[in-house]
Structure 1
Amino acid sequence: MQIPSLRRMIGQMLLAGFPGAAMPDAQALRLMEEYSVGNFILFARNIGSAVETARLCGALSEAVYAKTGFAPFLAVDQEGGAVLRAHERSLAFPGAMALAAATHAAAGGDVSPIREVGRRAGSALRALGMNVDFAPVLDVNSEPQNPVIGVRAYGDSPGTVTACGLAMAEGLRTGGVLPVFKHFPGHGNVSVDSHIGLPVNDAPRAALERTEWAPFSAGVSRFGMDAGVMTAHLVCRALEGGKDVPGTLSSRAVTGLLRQTFGFSGLVFTDCMEMGALTALYDPGEAAVRAVEAGCDVLTISHTFEAVAHAADALQSAVESGRIPEARIEASFRRILAVKERLGLLGRQQTNPAAAEAAASDAEAAGFHAELAGKSITLLSGAVDPVLAGLKAQVRILAPEAYAQTGAELDAPRVNLAGMAAARFGWHAQTVSEAAYAPAPGSFAANVLCLRNARFSAWQQALLRRLEDASVPLVVVLLGGPYDLQLVRRADAVIAAYEYTRLSAGAVLAALETGAFPGECPVRVPERPAL
């Protein structure tokens, strides 16, 4: 194989975002023309209908091939639950913790349904034209106050996370896309969102080896080059000799631990280089150089042209000045081409819009996902009388609208569970928010209160207290982390749905109607309140 120019090799190491939903997109074309960018990441801003998305991916692939001579990685964050970029029927599946609850994974349940979810998702993504999924999450959510992982994790034990995560990865790879394990070296035991700040994990190395690192070690051992790893912008002080070096920029994490200790031979992708944890420390160019020095292969720069330009220019200058050996760039380039070959991406790529539409609208897949959502609903405490569903306007349901709570959820669609309950049961619906959460006046036989990660929300806690002080039965539905159970002092029942999506909302209403709660919580939550 003839090695291309330095500029073109660097272009293969860049995974960029762009604003448009159709080609030609001025930013995408300029990135190809000026910097030979060879890979792109798609968000909801880029994804329309299945036909539109297939046409976009086909045109984008052809443009990249024409400019660079190689087909692109077209990546997406399709985790499930609230972290979805494509919302077609066959691609809207439950998130990690809900899937673990549905399969009773923490008790050693059969996780093959998770593998099937991955297979269906991978097949649909590939039909749309995407070939890399930044999933599964292999973080072990051992910190209940974690603001960004939480229900994106399969559980709080490495065994549960490994079993579920590797099942999802197997399905995705069978479906034709590259799964990418994230967020190495483990984002589950911190209480800072790296979209905003720099998280620090102070756990000793022995604890990290038992918990955070175990799923990644198992994953790279099983998959080799058939999976990637995404780095996290967080500090493991036990790795860094007490210094605050983010994992993405740490040669001890990427080269030492991942490559040398775990023996990983596949691609290392960075999390988005425009996240607050890195931008507060370095400009885009310096951060890019340090990430490559650490051992990363593909730099994800999701939003601005300027950040990609700075990164490309800085890497070129670093090689020309001798700071980075050209052989280091060539090593990543060869790994990238090896993985592209395994995915069938060395030649021109074509998409079939009609086939994409059929794959994305697969009613069987949609039904399978709805069934799993129903199986995830968990009764954490108390009991629910199904007669509640028939009380009509005597029941008041209070629920927030679904909205993005973290940087990972920016593309989550809006859902209004209160309105859905009113339509289904005739209940009195009240949509609540920080600006308006006082219970509406009236006499009701029961209250149903829906909370979403209330441990981070003073106004939701205040609303909970007011309804606990009322003299009528109270059912609490947790539409985020089950850890909110610790806030509840008095309720006749507490239900965990793990996420706030159309699937989970429908599953909650079905459970309230039937009184069946088949899920099993995959994390440890104290049953007594933390008063």
Structure 2
Amino acid sequence: MRSKISLVVAATFTCAGLVAGCASGDTGAEPTPSAAAAPPTTPAGEPTPDPRTLAQTCGADLLANLSQRQKLAQLLNVGVTGTADALAVVRDEQIGGIFVGSWTDESMLANREVPQVASASELPLMVTIDEEGGRVSRVSNLLGPDPSARVTAATMTVEQTYQMALERGRGLADLGITVNYAPVVDVSSQPDNSVIGDRSFSDDPATVTLYADAYARGMRDAGILPVIKHFPGHGSGSGDSHTGAVTTPPLEQLQTSDLQPFRDLVDTGVGVMLGHLEVPGLTAPNVPTSVSPDAVALLRGGVGYGGPPFTGPIFTDDLSGMQAITDRYDITDAVAAALGAGVDVALWLTTDDVPRVLDHLETLVASGELPAQRVDEAVLTVARAKGAVPC
């Protein structure tokens, strides 16, 4: 299985590079009639794949070389305690990603051990972190401190924010990180030490959008996928989802404030994280947005008021350590509900439950309760985000 999957991935990267090379190799000279008629070839003399054909087949090839359990595993992003823990879960279950948090042994990053973990994966491994700056920082001992979002917006220009994120992103990439669960785009005037507080750039949606865009661009230009959060907006929520249920103002009110940064940024090459929020006028009673089909539909459909549709990866917030979820769901049910709702990546904090989560998901797919097509769509969305397929 390793050789088959590796060949598929290698082929997709090669094809993507060849297509890009054809686009960028124009010298401006007029071709001779014979040259114009000849199909483009690779250096080995083989025809260059037609990008239209590639777009139709590359995803199907990848899916055909994955078992159902491997597909489901690609949709899990799980916190690890260190290199040994990460190696074991990647090697044994081929999960799609690992999450580096405050509980992770810093030596995994400091000693540059992430590539060792990634090498155990059949497909590119998503290595994630929540490096926001300020009080939510996992690498300050390695890369130095960065200011909180609120301090950033109060003391730095937009260009300085971009440069700060670019430098931080390059540092993260050097440590092996590929995805950062930042920036926060919640609109909030909460006190600095509250759940969102100084993690928010501002209580003004336009300011949040401006600075979050600069931060996200810096991350992207450093090779890191930024993930904006917490959709559809935690800044006006009633409490802390770590400690219990949170209700936001009605959807119509969010449309003119909290949702504006998401609406403006979803088509800029970002991922989106769903919060555990109950939204009157959007979610069903007692159903947090992280497991809500209605919340996913709102995001995919353009965030209301004519925004662009979102086609990138959708992540949950932590499903194992936040009482807004754990008071209602076992981890197996939370993951299943999130994926069934249309989420692409289920995130939680320990590797212990990975086998039983996958067992449960396999049972649901076999019974039809979790549609196999939904799983395939999510696998391809995740694979595109990783660069494992070029279409």
- TM-score scaled to structure 2, two decimals? 0.78
Alignment of 1:316-465 (within 5 A): 316-341=362-387
Deviation at 1:324, TM superposition (A): 1.3
Q: 1:227 aligns with which of 253, 267, 270?
A: 270
* Higher percent of residues as strand: 1
Q: Partner letter of residue 290 of structure 2?
A: T
Q: Partner letter of residue 281 of structure 2?
A: A
What residue number does 2:13 align with?
A: none
Q: Partner letter of residue 277 of structure 2?
A: L
Judge conservation of contact 1:112–1:167 (CA < 8 Å) in 2.
yes
Deviation at 1:133, TM superposition (A): 0.4
SS where residue 41 of structure 1 aligns? strand
Q: Partner letter of residue 305 of structure 1?
A: D
What residue number does 1:239 align with?
A: 282
Please give the per-residue CA displacement for 1:194-224, whole angstroms capped at 9, x wherever unaligned: 11111011x2333110111110111103x1x
Q: 2:300 aligns with which of 252, 256, 259?
A: 259
Alignment of 1:448-487 (within 5 A): none
Q: Partner letter of residue 68 of structure 2?
A: L
User: 2 CA distance for matches of 1:294 and 1:174?
Assistant: 31
Q: Is 1:154–2:201 an aligned residue pair?
A: yes
Deviation at 1:146, TM superposition (A): 8.3
User: 2 CA distance for matches of 1:219 and 1:322?
Assistant: 35
What residue number does 1:44 align with?
A: 102
Post-superposition, which runs of at least 4 consecutive aligned residues in structure 1 deviate over 6 A? Answer: none
Deviation at 1:90, TM superposition (A): 3.7
Structure 1 regions of 5+ residues with no counterpart? 104-109, 347-531
Please give the per-residue CA displacement for 1:345-401, whole angstroms capped at 9, x wherever unaligned: 67xxxxxxxxxxxxxxxxxxxxxxxxxxxxxxxxxxxxxxxxxxxxxxxxxxxxxxx
Q: Is 1:63–2:120 an aligned residue pair?
A: yes
Structure 2 regions of 5+ residues with no counterpart? 1-60, 304-308
Q: Partner letter of residue 80 of structure 2?
A: F
User: 2 CA distance for matches of 1:155 and 1:313?
Assistant: 43
What residue number does 1:86 align with?
A: 139
Q: Partner letter of residue 252 of structure 1?
A: D
Q: Is 1:127–2:174 an aligned residue pair?
A: yes
What residue number does 2:245 align with?
A: 198
In the superposition, relative to structure 1, how do residues 62 and 193 fare at CA in structure 2: closer, same or farther (>3 Å)?
Answer: same
Judge conservation of contact 1:285–1:313 (CA < 8 Å) in 2.
no
- TM-score scaled to structure 1, two decimals? 0.58
SS where residue 183 of structure 2 aligns? coil
SS where residue 150 of structure 2 aligns? helix
Judge conservation of contact 1:146–1:191 (CA < 8 Å) in 2.
no
In the superposition, relative to structure 1, how do residues 304 and 193 fare at CA in structure 2: closer, same or farther (>3 Å)?
Answer: farther
Deviation at 1:191, TM superposition (A): 3.4
Choose 1 or 2 for highest CA Rg.
1
What residue number does 2:57 align with?
A: none
What residue number does 2:359 align with?
A: 313
SS where residue 16 of structure 1 aligns? strand
What residue number does 1:113 align with?
A: 160
User: 2 CA distance for matches of 1:14 and 1:52?
Assistant: 21
Judge conservation of contact 2:275–2:317 (CA < 8 Å) in 1.
yes
Q: Partner letter of residue 125 of structure 1?
A: L
Judge conservation of contact 2:187–2:200 (CA < 8 Å) in 1.
yes
Judge conservation of contact 1:91–1:124 (CA < 8 Å) in 2.
no
The sequence identity of aligned pairs, in percent, is 34
User: 1 CA distance for matches of 2:351 and 2:386?
Assistant: 25
What residue number does 1:248 align with?
A: 290
What residue number does 2:210 align with?
A: 163
Deviation at 1:17, TM superposition (A): 1.4
User: 2 CA distance for matches of 1:244 and 1:145?
Assistant: 28
Deviation at 1:245, TM superposition (A): 1.4
Deviation at 1:54, TM superposition (A): 4.9
In the superposition, relative to structure 1, how do residues 330 and 44 fare at CA in structure 2: closer, same or farther (>3 Å)?
Answer: same
SS where residue 127 of structure 1 aligns? helix
Judge conservation of contact 1:146–1:190 (CA < 8 Å) in 2.
no
Count, aligned residues: 322
Judge conservation of contact 1:82–1:95 (CA < 8 Å) in 2.
yes
Deviation at 1:145, TM superposition (A): 9.4
Please give the per-residue CA displacement for 1:492-525, whole angstroms capped at 9, x wherever unaligned: xxxxxxxxxxxxxxxxxxxxxxxxxxxxxxxxxx
SS where residue 273 of structure 2 aligns? strand
Deviation at 1:276, TM superposition (A): 1.4
Q: Partner letter of residue 63 of structure 1?
A: A
SS where residue 266 of structure 2 aligns? helix
Deviation at 1:48, TM superposition (A): 2.9
User: 1 CA distance for matches of 2:333 and 2:260?
Assistant: 31
User: 2 CA distance for matches of 1:112 and 1:209?
Assistant: 28
What residue number does 1:15 align with?
A: 77
What residue number does 1:31 align with?
A: 89
